[in-house]
């Protein structure tokens, strides 16, 4: 772990400067595996010019984080961090608004500023998570020892972005593929495949940008805790009307169902054949898993459990199964206890404090039990947030593609 330490005045040592390019490399702390720590006085450096940028956000050794916002003439600036109450920032004479939060548990946090009621990203931090509705700045609070989602000194796999034209959606779209360390496209070794789906309003890159799926698998595979696998991360919108700003979107039952039908067709008929043609994979349901979060969790459960000839490993995290999701008999019409022999792992998880889908997931647990379907029932601390989903990946990835998964 590389660490930037400031002197007692909260500045770089004498004779040293932080160039704009250099600061960008430092500020992308989580992506580069760098932590920014405070000096003994715990004060962030201030600056008068853009080529002398302050260190912000600043992660303190005790897990507190100090944020600066460089717009002095604003009337009010509010810090918004995912999963926490908003906090008013304080203006100081050197020209920055200040706020310190925490201590925070190790993790990656999304945040933004509300400046006179207008949401803006952090102009001092280039590490940004894309989102169709609410892009956010990101900050990493490292764990000691390092958490499995951190970039460690281990062999790394590769993440490749692919572009293709979808005849079903009639548009051009993308998907990402993670290949494990040592993958040789000309070699004899073949790998099982996990199709990993993002949540509502996110993009196809969410599981690597915020979920850190590639680092998690690098670390698990190196420790021999997970089977080396290929991970495919597609765009989860079968119908773009689901993310339209002029419709009810995901809350519209007809749009949700159409999106699900089209996404299933795209996955089975367009994406999976491309993976089989271009990557050295093992085929068949015993070698194919599907998992996702929120909307993607609903997609994983609905596509997976209704296509057991393709998937034996199915994981739904904080799953949203549609506005009529409580009518599970219509969502999973053919699912019975007789399918237990075909399902190697059915992982159903949710945060105990999830305000969005917690109730629906408890109903899902009860319905699966009433049908005699074996599943791994996992309730964790937290809400509808990435720290819940990263932790789930850490725990279910080691179970995938073993000879026999747990029954629940």
- 295-317 residue pLDDT tens: 999 999 999 999 999 999 999 99
Closest CA to 200 of 268, 248, 269, 265: 248
Q: Which domains does the chain have, with CATH numbers?
A: 2-141 (2.60.40.10), 158-399 (3.40.50.1820)
Q: How confident is the model at residue 38 (pLDDT cuts 50, 70, 90)?
A: very low
CA 119, CA 122: separation in Å to the nearest integer? 10
CA 356, CA 320: separation in Å to the nearest integer? 9
What does the block give as tokens for 365? 């647990």
Sort strands 128-129 and 136-141 into parallel, antiparallel or unpaired: antiparallel
CA 196, CA 178: separation in Å to the nearest integer? 10
- 132-176 residue pLDDT tens: 888 999 999 998 888 999 999 999 999 999 999 999 999 999 999
The DSSP letter of residue 65 is E
For residue 90, report the phi and psi dihedrals to the nearest 5 degrees.
-110, 130
Q: How confident is the model at residue 208 (pLDDT cuts 50, 70, 90)?
A: very high
- Give the orientation angle of helix 295-305 with respect to helix 253-265, to 10 degrees: 60
Q: Please give the model's pTM, rounded to 2 decimal places.
A: 0.84
Closest CA to 211 of 23, 392, 372: 392
CA 244, CA 16: separation in Å to the nearest integer? 49
Would you say 96 and 72 are in contact if contact means Cβ atoms under 8 Å apart? yes
Can you name the residues that pair with 197 across neighbouring β-strands? 292
């Amino acid at each position: 772990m590389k660490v930037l330490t400031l002197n007692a005045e909260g500045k770089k040592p004498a004779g040293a400067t932080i160039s704009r390019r250099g600061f960008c490399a430092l500020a992308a702390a989580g992506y580069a595996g760098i932590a920014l720590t405070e000096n003994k006085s715990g004060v962030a450096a201030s600056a008068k010019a853009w080529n002398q940028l302050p260190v912000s956000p600043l992660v303190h050794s005790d897990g507190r984080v100090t944020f600066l916002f460089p717009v002095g003439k604003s009337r009010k600036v509010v810090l918004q961090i995912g999963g926490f109450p908003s906090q008013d920032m304080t203006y100081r004479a050197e020209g920055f608004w200040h706020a310190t939060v925490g201590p925070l548990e190790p993790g990656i946090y999304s945040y933004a500023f509300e400046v006179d009621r207008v949401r803006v990203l952090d102009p001092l931090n280039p590490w940004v998570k894309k989102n169709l509705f609410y892009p956010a700045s990101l900050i990493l609070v490292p764990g000691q020892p390092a958490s499995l989602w951190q970039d460690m000194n281990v062999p790394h796999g590769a993440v490749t972005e692919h572009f293709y034209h979808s005849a079903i959606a009639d548009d051009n779209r993308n998907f990402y593929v993670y290949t494990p360390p040592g993958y040789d496209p000309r070699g004899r070794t073949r790998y099982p495949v996990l199709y990993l789906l993002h949540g509502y309003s996110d993009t196809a890159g969410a599981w690597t940008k915020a979920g850190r799926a590639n680092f998690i698998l690098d670390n698990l595979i190196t420790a021999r805790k997970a089977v080396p696998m290929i991970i495919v991360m597609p765009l989860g919108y079968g119908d773009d009307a689901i993310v339209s700003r002029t419709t009810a979107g995901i809350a519209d039952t007809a749009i949700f169902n159409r999106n699900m039908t089209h996404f299933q067709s795209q996955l089975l008929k367009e994406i999976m054949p491309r993976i089989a043609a271009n990557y050295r994979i093992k085929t068949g349901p015993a070698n194919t898993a599907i998992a996702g979060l929120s909307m993607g969790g609903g997609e994983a459960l609905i596509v997976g459990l209704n296509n057991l000839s393709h998937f034996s490993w199915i994981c739904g995290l904080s799953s949203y199964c549609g506005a009529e999701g409580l009518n599970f008999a219509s969502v999973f019409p053919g699912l019975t206890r007789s399918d237990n022999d075909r399902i190697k792992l059915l992982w159903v998880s949710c945060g105990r404090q999830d305000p969005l889908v917690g109730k629906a997931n408890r109903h899902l647990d009860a319905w699966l039990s009433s049908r005699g379907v074996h599943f791994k029932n996992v309730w964790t601390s937290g809400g509808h947030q990435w720290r819940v989903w990263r932790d789930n990946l850490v725990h279910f990835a080691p179970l995938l593609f073993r000879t026999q998964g747990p029954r629940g």
